[in-house]
């Protein structure tokens, strides 16, 4: 079966060691994690891990169930691209001279919906949020201007479902079923 | 730890008291009903051992001769008694020596709580003497693990450890406690863990799949049941029997399911897998409804997954949702405890019988008897065979003993030819296939089930992996019976070399010590037999006395285990000879 890009979103207790417990599940199966982000959520003590992986539909279902098995993982979900709102952020660094001497650079940045984040000393940092493709397009466009450094964040994503994290956690606390967070076999 | 994640039952009577962490560990164990610990001391766990000195009336500590021995003994104890096995080890090498046993317990779903000492918290990460990252190392092979660096965390960590180890699909848990946490004091009170909000060990049974399963079963012409260890773990032997008898469906066992259902029952049709019986393997690919109960479709059971029961509608009763649709695609998934699920399902199915279909299995039995079994248990050659020994032992003990096996040919012979007629009578290293498991596990099993006759069946190779544990039999007077089937080969590997590597016996021949003298040096009565006519008398003088005994039988060097499903091949392509 063909692989697709999935966003995996995991809600966990905020405990040390969990990052390791989650990543070894991928490692053991030789699955490459394309991006990973850990963040707090609107619920105190609950963290959200967001991963991007390329897998077949079969594989992603299995992996999500393996993740759900880890004690301290509260919920584990997977989404296709159209099921989430998602963003990445990229930073691009130039020398101030390059920036000042190339007027078209300013235009280019504006056209890509990017902005100048900082001008400090002899450095300029441009910031762009968007999809990986968008940040990459800007990267390609900026290459000729002696880009000093480039970095892109992991994906962050929110699902389009109406579920609230808090309600989900409350349900977990009162229910006896793990089927809650694993909708299908 | 975060108390908000646990629902803590308030301690009703006891007031709190100020005690060191080390003593708190022991108090927690006593609170959990533990009475036996298997372990080995060392620097980082010395405070706990020091406290243990004054707990000898409450906690029976068994000093193994190697930490691997301690953990296999704890596994045998847990599987024989149904209780959580408890193991102590020191940091560094003590902790790493536990890893094989922890891995074994993880894959065979055995509840264990392992407590390891760790260097003082200020030394963590400094490559201090005997410091090892046992939390990192054990992460993939534990159901849960946790490092305690403060004395006050101990009660909650241990409470959670026991709850997680024994609930749902059981498994090993490791708690690593720094030396300073053992030495500092805490205000002790204990409350057993009742709930962890992220962890839901018992899924609610759903009506819809139960009804769908019942419909398939009621309409089936050639239904077939394969049950596994899940039945034993959920204590569902009665429910399994009722279900089988009501539906009249022929039932086979996996390796770890053996003894969940009597082999003498008319609807028992044998055991499946690589060296399983002919009928259950072949009929897997002929049945119309396949009912898997508390088993996980291991590749040693399925062979080629693409052809496995491909013609059948598959119903899978399984507690662990991650096992459903993992190896074999199922048509109806019943996610729940085997006991509950079988109770509910038995209500919904019709009383039935499938005599012609069951007769097809018996026909297979006759073929297997003719082509494979007869020459194994009643050999023409002068040498005793392993199959013959197990067959005769089974008759001698009436299938009532608790059999613990190691890994190799003797293990497969034991599972094929011991006719289990007593519930929960088979302990082996199934998923991991750990040589060296038998001797310590048999010792642990005898300690866990002193009323049973416990017989460890082991090869000359596997025996030498953990033979130092004979010291336990001597020191603690453990009345376990050991049977060494000596073929002077790493037999199972030799068999593969013969069948698949052109008889190139590369490093599988073994020169062995005198096992009888070895046993004598541990004060264990021992006897060697190489003559068929002496077998029965040998069994008698070995098994009849109360205490321990070792019997070595010199067996045919190049005996093979048949039938055999070659690794990864279709189960109906099973070779009979
Ligand atoms: C720790 C470990 N190392 C290696 C193996 C591979 N192995 C499987 S069976 C076997 C031979 C076992 O020989 P023996 O204990 O004499 O038993 P037999 O097969 O002769 O009955 C070996 C080496 C294993 N299962 N476990």
pLDDT tens column, B236-291:
999 999 999 999 999 999 999 999 999 999 999 999 999 999 999 999 999 999 99
Contacts of B212 (CB under 8 A, 6+ apart): B332
Contacts of B513 (CB under 8 A, 6+ apart): B464
B434 CB near ligand 1 (under 6 Å): yes
Query: B188 pLDDT exceeds 80?
Result: yes
Q: Is residue B7 helix, strand or coil?
A: strand
Measured from the Cα of B465, ligand 1's closest atom is 1
> How many angstroms away from the CA of A142 is the closest CA of chain B?
42
B73 CB near ligand 1 (under 6 Å): no
pLDDT digits (tens, 9 = 90+) for B202-237: 988 999 999 999 999 999 999 999 999 999 999 999
Residue B201 covered by a domain: no
**Do B179 and B250 share a structural domain?**
no
Tell me, what CATH number does B110's domain have?
A: 3.40.50.970
**Do A99 and A59 share a structural domain?**
no
* ipTM (interface predicted TM): 0.92
> How many angstroms away from the CA of A143 is the closest CA of chain B?
41
Count CA atoms within 13 Å of residue B317 on its CB side: 32
> What is the length of chain A?
185
CA of B555 to the centre of ligand 1 (A): 16
Query: A44 pLDDT exceeds 80?
Result: yes
Tell me, what CATH number does B211's domain have?
A: 3.40.50.1220
Nearest to B197 among A21, A172, A179 (CB): A172
Full 3-state SS string of B321-369? HHHCCCCCCCCEEEECCHHHHHHHHHHHCCCCCCHHHHHHHHHHHHHHH
- Please provide residue A110's backbone torsions phi and psi, each rounded to the nearest 5 degrees: -65, -45
Please tell me the pTM assigned to this model.
Answer: 0.95
Query: B8 pLDDT exceeds 90?
Result: no
What pLDDT does A185 receive? 53
- Tokens linked to A11: 């809600």
- Contact (Cβ atoms closer than 8 angstroms) between residue B459 and residue B410: yes
Task: Tell whether B3 is within 8 A of chain A (Cβ).
Answer: no
Residue B573 covered by a domain: no
**Do A78 and A10 share a structural domain?**
yes
**Do A91 and A34 share a structural domain?**
no
Residue B372 covered by a domain: no
Extract the runs of DSSP E, i.e. beta strands, from B205-273.
223-227, 251-253, 268-271
What pLDDT does A163 receive? 84
Nearest to B204 among A65, A72, A177 (CB): A177
Query: B11 pLDDT exceeds 60?
Result: no
What pLDDT does A140 receive? 95
Nearest to A73 among B2, B198, B203 (CB): B198
**Do B158 and B35 share a structural domain?**
yes
- Contact (Cβ atoms closer than 8 angstroms) between residue B116 and residue B133: no
- Tokens linked to B83: 């209780």
Q: Pocket of ligand 1, candidates B408, B432, B485: which has the most ligand atoms within 8 Å of its Cβ, to mutate?
A: B408
Determine whether the interchain pair A71/B139 forms a contact, defined as Cβ–Cβ distance below 8 Å. Answer: no
What pLDDT does B10 receive? 46
Query: B404 pLDDT exceeds 50?
Result: yes
How far is B78 from B519, CA to CA, in rounded Å?
Answer: 26
Return the residue whose CA atom lies nearest to atom 5 of ligand 1: B435
Task: Tell whether B277 is within 8 A of chain A (Cβ).
Answer: no
How far is B189 from B264, CA to CA, in rounded Å?
Answer: 50
**Do B151 and B296 share a structural domain?**
no
**Do A107 and A78 share a structural domain?**
no
Tell me, what CATH number does A133's domain have?
A: 3.30.70.1150
pLDDT digits (tens, 9 = 90+) for A65-113: 999 999 999 999 999 999 999 999 999 999 999 989 988 999 999 999 9
Contacts of B427 (CB under 8 A, 6+ apart): B75, B76, B79, B80, B402, B403, B404, B405, B441, B442, B445
**Do A77 and A160 share a structural domain?**
yes
Q: Of chain B residues 328-367, which have a CB less than 8 A from chain A?
A: 330, 333, 335
- Please provide residue A138's backbone torsions phi and psi, each rounded to the nearest 5 degrees: -65, -40
- Tokens linked to A125: 């940092």
Average pLDDT for B50-70: 97
- Tokens linked to B355: 């005599």
Tell me, what CATH number does A25's domain have?
A: 3.30.70.260
**Do B516 and B451 share a structural domain?**
yes
Q: How many domains does chain A have?
A: 2
**Do B411 and B332 share a structural domain?**
no
What pLDDT does B273 receive? 94
CA of B337 to the centre of ligand 1 (A): 34
**Do B224 and B160 share a structural domain?**
no
* Known catalytic residue at B369: no
**Do B184 and B43 share a structural domain?**
yes
Mean pLDDT (chain A, rounded): 92
**Do A76 and A160 share a structural domain?**
yes
**Do A19 and A70 share a structural domain?**
yes
Helix (H) or strand (E) holding B74: helix B67-81
**Do A134 and A66 share a structural domain?**
no
Query: B103 pLDDT exceeds 50?
Result: yes
B491 CB near ligand 1 (under 6 Å): yes
Determine whether the interchain pair A20/B139 forms a contact, defined as Cβ–Cβ distance below 8 Å. Answer: yes
Task: Tell whether A45 is within 8 A of chain B (Cβ).
Answer: yes
- Tokens linked to B225: 């049941």
Range of the domain at B472: 382-555
The sign one gets for the Cα dihedral B92, B95, B100, B103 is negative
Residue B197 covered by a domain: no
- Contact (Cβ atoms closer than 8 angstroms) between residue B457 and residue B405: yes
What pLDDT does B5 receive? 45
Q: pLDDT band at residue A174, thresholds of 50, 70 and 90?
A: confident
**Do A171 and A126 share a structural domain?**
no
Average pLDDT for B498-511: 97
Q: Is residue A65 helix, strand or coil?
A: helix
**Do B272 and B149 share a structural domain?**
no
CA-nearest residue to A27 within chain B is B140
B492 CB near ligand 1 (under 6 Å): yes
Query: B7 pLDDT exceeds 80?
Result: no
* Known catalytic residue at B160: no
Measured from the Cα of B495, ligand 1's closest atom is 19
* Known catalytic residue at B130: yes
**Do A53 and A94 share a structural domain?**
no
What pLDDT does B551 receive? 98
What pLDDT does B9 receive? 46
Binning chain A into helix, strand and coil, the percentages to the nearest 5 are 35, 35, 25
Residue B193 covered by a domain: no
- Contact (Cβ atoms closer than 8 angstroms) between residue B337 and residue B546: no
> How many angstroms away from the CA of A21 is the closest CA of chain B?
7
Residue B568 covered by a domain: no
CA-nearest residue to A184 within chain B is B321
**Do A123 and A33 share a structural domain?**
no
What pLDDT does A172 receive? 87
User: Which letter does DSSP use for residue B570 in this model?
Assistant: B
**Do B518 and B479 share a structural domain?**
yes
Query: B379 pLDDT exceeds 70?
Result: yes
What pLDDT does B574 receive? 95
Query: B4 pLDDT exceeds 90?
Result: no
Catalytic residue among B492, B539, B556, B559: B492
B489 CB near ligand 1 (under 6 Å): yes
- Using a pLDDT cut of 90, give the percent of chain B over it: 97
Range of the domain at A163: 4-84+156-184
CA of B503 to the centre of ligand 1 (A): 17
Task: Tell whether B326 is within 8 A of chain A (Cβ).
Answer: yes
Q: How many domains does chain B have?
A: 3
Average pLDDT for B143-152: 98
**Do B96 and B51 share a structural domain?**
yes
**Do B427 and B282 share a structural domain?**
no
Average pLDDT for A47-52: 98
Q: pLDDT band at residue B2, thresholds of 50, 70 and 90?
A: very low
Contacts of B151 (CB under 8 A, 6+ apart): B20, B21, B24, B181, B182, B183, B184, B185, B186
**Do A137 and A50 share a structural domain?**
no
Query: B14 pLDDT exceeds 70?
Result: no
**Do B182 and B212 share a structural domain?**
no
Q: Which residues of chain A neighbour B318 with C-beta distances below 8 Å?
A: none
């Amino acid at each position: 079966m063909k692989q697709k890009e999935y966003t995996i979103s995991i809600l966990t207790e905020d405990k040390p060691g969990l990052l390791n417990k989650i990543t070894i599940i991928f490692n053991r199966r030789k699955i490459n994690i394309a991006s990973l982000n850990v963040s707090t959520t609107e619920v105190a003590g609950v963290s959200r891990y967001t991963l991007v992986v390329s897998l077949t539909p079969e594989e992603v279902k299995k992996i999500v169930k393996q993740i759900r098995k880890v004690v301290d993982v509260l919920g584990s979900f997977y989404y296709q691209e159209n099921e989430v709102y998602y963003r990445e952020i990229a930073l691009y660094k130039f020398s101030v001279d390059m920036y000042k001497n190339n007027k078209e650079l300013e235009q280019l940045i504006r056209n890509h919906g990017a902005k100048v984040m900082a001008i400090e000393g002899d450095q300029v940092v441009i910031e762009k949020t968007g999809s990986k493709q968008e940040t990459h397009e800007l990267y390609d466009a900026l290459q000729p201007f002696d880009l000093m450094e480039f970095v892109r964040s992991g994906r962050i994503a929110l699902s389009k479902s109406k579920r609230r994290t808090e309600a989900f956690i409350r349900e977990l606390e009162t229910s006896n079923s793990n089927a809650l967070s694993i909708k299908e076999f | 730890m975060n108390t908000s994640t646990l629902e803590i039952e308030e301690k009703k009577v006891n007031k709190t008291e100020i005690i060191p962490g080390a003593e708190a560990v022991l108090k927690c164990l006593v609170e959990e009903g533990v009475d036996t610990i298997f372990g080995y001391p060392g620097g980082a766990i010395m405070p706990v051992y020091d406290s243990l000195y004054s707990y000898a009336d409450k906690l029976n500590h068994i000093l193994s001769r190697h930490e691997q021995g301690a953990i296999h003994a704890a596994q045998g104890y847990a599987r024989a008694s149904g209780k959580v096995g408890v193991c102590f080890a020191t940091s560094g090498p003590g902790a790493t020596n536990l890893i094989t046993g922890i891995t074994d317990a993880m894959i065979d779903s055995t509840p264990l709580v392992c407590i390891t000492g760790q260097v003082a918290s200020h030394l963590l990460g400094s490559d201090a003497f005997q410091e090892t990252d046992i939390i990192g190392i054990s992460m993939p092979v534990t159901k849960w693990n946790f490092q305690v660096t403060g004395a006050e965390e101990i009660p909650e960590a241990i409470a959670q450890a026991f709850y997680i180890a024994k609930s749902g699909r059981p498994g090993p848990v490791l708690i690593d406690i720094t030396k300073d946490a053992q030495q500092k004091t805490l205000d002790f009170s204990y409350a057993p863990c009742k709930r962890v909000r992220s962890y839901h060990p018992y899924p609610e049974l759903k009506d819809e799949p139960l009804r769908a399963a019942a419909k398939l079963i009621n309409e089936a012409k050639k239904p077939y049941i394969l049950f596994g260890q899940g039945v034993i773990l959920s204590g569902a032997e009665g429910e399994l029997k009722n279900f089988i008898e009501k539906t009249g469906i022929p039932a086979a066992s996996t390796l770890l399911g053996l003894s969940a259902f009597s082999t003498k029952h008319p609807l028992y049709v044998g055991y499946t897998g690589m060296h399983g019986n002919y009928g259950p393997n072949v009929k897997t690919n002929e049945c119309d409804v396949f009912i898997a109960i508390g088993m996980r479709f291991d590749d040693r059971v399925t062979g080629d997954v693409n052809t496995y029961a491909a013609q059948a509608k598959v119903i899978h009763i399984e507690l662990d949702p991650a096992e459903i649709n993992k190896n074999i695609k199922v048509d109806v998934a019943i996610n729940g405890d085997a006991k509950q699920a079988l109770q509910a399902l038995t209500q919904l199915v019709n009383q039935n019988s499938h005599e012609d279909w069951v007769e097809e299995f018996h026909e297979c039995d006759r073929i297997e008897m003719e082509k494979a079994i007869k020459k194994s248990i009643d050999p023409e050659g002068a040498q005793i065979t392993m199959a013959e020994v197990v067959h005769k032992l089974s008759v001698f003990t009436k299938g009532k003993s608790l059999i613990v096996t190691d890994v190799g040919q003797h293990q497969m012979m034991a599972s094929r030819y011991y006719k289990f007629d007593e519930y929960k009578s088979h302990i082996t290293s199934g998923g991991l296939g750990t040589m060296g498991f038998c001797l310590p596990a048999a010792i642990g099993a005898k300690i866990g089930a002193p009323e049973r006759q416990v017989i460890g069946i082991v090869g000359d190779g596997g025996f030498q992996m953990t033979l130092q544990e004979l010291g336990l039999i001597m020191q603690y007077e453990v009345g376990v019976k050991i049977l060494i089937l000596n073929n002077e080969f790493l037999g199972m590997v030799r068999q593969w070399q013969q069948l698949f590597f052109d008889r190139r016996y590369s490093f599988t021949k073994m020169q062995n010590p005198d096992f009888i003298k070895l046993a004598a040096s541990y004060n264990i009565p021992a006897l060697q037999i190489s003559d068929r006519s002496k077998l029965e008398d040998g069994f008698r003088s070995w098994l009849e006395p109360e205490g321990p005994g070792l019997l070595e039988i010199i067996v045919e060097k190049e005996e093979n285990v048949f039938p055999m499903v070659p690794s990864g091949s279709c189960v109906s392509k099973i070779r009979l000879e």
